[in-house]
Chain A
Amino acid sequence: MPCTWVMACAYAPSGCAVACGGLDNKCSVYPLSLDKNENLAAKKKSVAMHTNYLSACSFTNSDMQILTSSGDGTCALWDVESGQLLQSFHGHAADVLCLDLAPSETGNTFVSGGCDKKVNVWDMRSGQCIQSFETHESDINSVRYYPSGDAFASGSDDATCRLYDLRADREVAIYSKESIIFGVSSVDFSLSGRLLFGGYNDYTINVWDVLKGTRVSILFGHENRVSTLRVSPDGTAFCTGSWDHTLRIWA
């Protein structure tokens, strides 16, 4: 990739392409192929163009549209084929660091978190911000919908994870401990939504009981910051990526 830092990547729903981007301010889509002779770099398609770094990207329900968030404070929806900007989302007062799309059953919304300490919920079709939450005390590094789509969790540099209920329009839980002082870089739910996994900058993973608000477990293994975390689609394991150059799978 022709840029120093890749900050975001995402699989297309079909598994046939990958989108990525970072300090190049763009999101590019690469078709995947098992043919070793194919020059995949030549088939790269530049889809999104922001005026600052790309912090996150995600395909919508199809391979045809991609949602991006950027250090320029906006999110945007793009048509992959033409590279056309379909919708832009303005409302954050600072860099947008993360986004997550609502589970398909619940409709066309997505949530974004930024350096302005706010989490915004957006209507993808109108570009309108429909809800906003500002309870974190620092940058929000990660947001993730609860499996039912009625709530979402966020992880922040303020060392807390929080759960927000969308229908009640308020924060309902804070997952924190006095002993945890390092920021959360990434959060994800287990399949039932009972467990919340958080990757922290103190190299650990804390596992929270979503309903009780207590910590279930703390996992050690990484030798540097955990920068990303994702539960597998079948829910049997989760994977963490770290500044220690490793990816670890936990089951």
Chain B
Amino acid sequence: LSGKMCSSSNSIIQAQKLVDQLQIEAGMERFKISLTAADLVQYCQEHRRSDPLLTGISASSNPFKDKKTCVLL
């Protein structure tokens, strides 16, 4: 393969970049899942009432409700 010397220094550069990136990611401050999960649950509960797909819409304000009962012939 021509350029083999070039490609090995390229792969060193690539590997160095990967190591740098992993070090950045490793340095991140992480919180315990027990705490963050509780926050997710709390968010759901706090916003429960403002979620129409969860609480449903009253029949009087639902523009798509059936107007008549079904008649089976």
Residues of A that sit less than 8 Å from B by CB: 91, 128-132, 146-148, 150-151, 165, 167-170, 172, 190-195, 210-211, 231, 234-238, 251
Contacts of A172 in B (CB 8 A): 33, 37
> Knowing A128-B24, A131-B28, A168-B30 touch, does A190 contact B36 (C-beta < 8 A)?
no
Please give me the residue from chain A that is nearest to B30 by CB atom. Answer: A169
Contact indicator B52/A191 (Cβ below 8 Å): yes
**Residue from the list B30, B36, B48 in contact with A194, Cβ < 8 A:** B48
Provide the bound-state CA to CA distance between A222 and B29, in Å: 44
Contact indicator B21/A91 (Cβ below 8 Å): yes
Contact indicator A165/B28 (Cβ below 8 Å): no
Contact indicator B21/A151 (Cβ below 8 Å): no
Instruction: Give chain A's interface secondary structure class.
Output: loop
Provide the bound-state CA to CA distance between A151 and B40, in Å: 8
Q: Which 5 A-B pairs have the closest CB atoms?
A: A192-B51, A192-B47, A168-B33, A236-B52, A191-B51
> Knowing A91-B21, A191-B50, A192-B51 touch, does A211 contact B44 (C-beta < 8 A)?
yes
How far is the CB of B44 from the nearest CB of chain A, in Å? Answer: 5
How far is the CB of B32 from the nearest CB of chain A, in Å? Answer: 7
Contacts of A168 in B (CB 8 A): 30-33, 36-37
> Knowing A165-B37, A168-B36 touch, does A195 contact B53 (C-beta < 8 A)?
yes
How far is the CB of A41 from the nearest CB of chain B, in Å? Answer: 36
Interface string of B34-64 (1 = CB under 8 A from A): 0011011101101110111110010000001
Known A-B contacts: A131-B28, A211-B41. Give 7 more (CB < 8 A). Answer: A147-B47, A151-B36, A167-B36, A168-B37, A192-B48, A194-B44, A236-B52
B66, CB-defined interface residue at 8 Å: no
